[in-house]
Structure 1
Amino acid sequence: MTRLMVLGLLKSKPMSGYEIQQLLTKSQTDAWAGILPGSIYHALKKMEKEALVEIDSIEQTGNRSKAIYKITAAGEKEFSQLLVEALQVSSVHLPSQLYTGLSFIHYLEKDEIRQALQNQQLLLEAQLAQQKAGIEVKRNHMPMDEVTEMLFQNVFKQYELQLDLIGNLIRHYES
């Protein structure tokens, strides 16, 4: 996922590793894409060795310098291949840990169940709020096309669907 994301962002414009990291973090893309901040620098170095990206320029700020990377022709080819593969992978990932826990929920006391579910609810609500803040950051940094808007709306619906299940379970165990 990291390679696809980095190559895709570099396809739009040359960027430093720090710029990529900041964009992913501020837009909350790193959360749903599962990209760890340190993996960006590792991916850039590895892809540079593979000639998928190259240094476009070096920017100096005081005593620090940062490399601005751009995608190469080989990188564009790799990006296209990764993109096609990503579109073919199953897009449904069930919350298997939660479902497994629910399979054995009868071994807990009602108070423990309610507390655990309420904690899950609070976590999901916080994550949804972060995702909604992320779309605003992304809108402020770059134009949002229709597909990206649909993507964010789908992410929101996934959280809302899970929150609906948790809410129903809480109500069930309160009665």
Structure 2
Amino acid sequence: MSVAEPRRIVLFRHAKADWPQVNDHDRPLAERGRMDAAEAGRRLADTGIPFDLALCSTATRTRETWKLAVHELPHRPRTVYEERVYEASPGDLIAVLNETPDDARHLVLIGHNPGVHGLAEILSGDSEGDSAVRMNRRGFPTAAYAVLTFSGPWKSLEPGVGTLVDYWAPTD
């Protein structure tokens, strides 16, 4: 694969978490979160993106979200559980993405707000259709995802190089 071919990044926020008496990192999904995670997985499958790699926060709610979503995909990508995605800023997330091997063309990052939403906004130098309008109107609720494209090696990923091509969020 040439680095000139467009790459796709899906920025996926974990589904709705419960609030039991545990530390934040260990919060599990709520019942609604389990349903929304599976629905997000079905929507991701409908995109037809053949993910090569998934980078997932180590938090319980992100791991549970990914486990339910990936079950809906036709192909299970290699998954890396990355501690640096938990509570990461957009800049921290860019640093993690810059380390992605160039043989990975399509990547999904399962993380948290405000970092995931901020990253979607920062990377989007352009948008297609009404995806930016919908993302700005809805924000980035739990189980939402944004699909961006960019060209070049992962180490060249920086603010403004991406195009927001799709956005989805579950209905309330």
Query: TM-score per shorter chain, which class?
Result: under 0.3
Output the TM-score relative to the length of structure 1. Answer: 0.26
Output the TM-score relative to the length of structure 2. Answer: 0.27
Q: Which structure carries more helix by proportion?
A: 1
Higher RCO (C-alpha 8 Å, min separation 6): 2
Q: Which structure carries more strand by proportion?
A: 2
